Homo-oligomer: A and B are copies of this chain.
Amino acid sequence: MSQQPARTTFSHLPADKQERVLNAALNEFADQGYHQASLNRLVARAGIAKGSLYQYFPNKEGIFRHIFQLALGRVRQTLVAVKDSTENENLFIRLEKSLKAGVRFLQEHPRIYSLYLKIQFDRQVPFRQEFLAAVRRHAGEYFGSLISRARARGELRPGISEPAALFLLDAVFDRFLQAVAVPYLDVTFNLHQAPEEIVQRRIRELIDLLREGLAA
């Protein structure tokens, strides 16, 4: 993360032009992924010349990096807000609110979420490893802090493996958001573009299962 991905020229630009370029770039990367993203299309959508793009950024990787860092900032910001605003509640209430906040984020920033999904399994994306590690670290710190606090308050069943609990929460939450965002990923919940009220009910059912378990 050491190099500056955007040239100074870009920062001197009028704000609305910067916005147009960033917007076009996020659109392009979010719905095409890194490699299929076309800079020709990008400049066309942004309404600038090809040469201009290369006055703003050193190359395709630079644009991508810039976009990704902006996106990561928004995620971090949201996580912090949710964590702080539920600090004194019970673990399972916190989990419920966290998942709701996740769904809200994904509805408000569908392109950011789509970008994240695209990156996840394409080993050829530059900096993928670095970026994925950053995202997972945030998630880990988030759930880790919820779990530690819950344990301190005696809300957790004794003898539970903390790494296992963390893995479980991360897995279920991530998949829930995926199912809301992506069609055909979800066997029975039919979460994709489901009405608000259904989503809320499913969230409660899931948290209940996590709390009480499957066994009789």
Contact = CB atoms under 8 A, between A and B. Distances in A.
Interface of A: 31-33, 35-36, 91-92, 117-118, 120-124, 129, 132-133, 136-137, 139-140, 143-144, 154-158, 160-168, 170-172, 174-176, 179, 182-189, 202, 205-206, 208-216
Given A172-B168, A172-B172, A189-B163, A136 B184 contact: yes
Nearest to A147: B214
Given A31-B123, A205-B161, A184 B132 contact: yes
* 10 closest Cβ pairs, A-B complex: A213-B213, A140-B187, A171-B175, A164-B205, A163-B188, A117-B121, A132-B184, A211-B215, A212-B213, A161-B205
Contacts of A167: 175-176, 179, 186-189, 202, 206
A188 to B, nearest CB: 4
Interface of chain A, main secondary structure: helix
A216 B161 contact: no
Given A184-B136, A212-B157, A213-B212, A171 B172 contact: yes
A31 B122 CA distance: 9
26 contacts: A35-B36, A118-B121, A121-B121, A132-B185, A133-B184, A136-B185, A139-B187, A154-B216, A156-B214, A161-B205, A163-B205, A164-B202, A164-B208, A167-B175, A167-B186, A167-B189, A168-B172, A170-B187, A171-B171, A171-B175, A171-B176, A172-B172, A174-B175, A175-B175, A210-B213, A211-B215
A214 B157 contact: yes
> Which of A136, A182, A188, A210: most chain B CB closer than 10 A?
A188
B216 A156 contact: yes
Nearest to A168: B209
B182 A166 contact: no
> Which of A31, A162, A212, A215: most chain B CB closer than 10 A?
A215
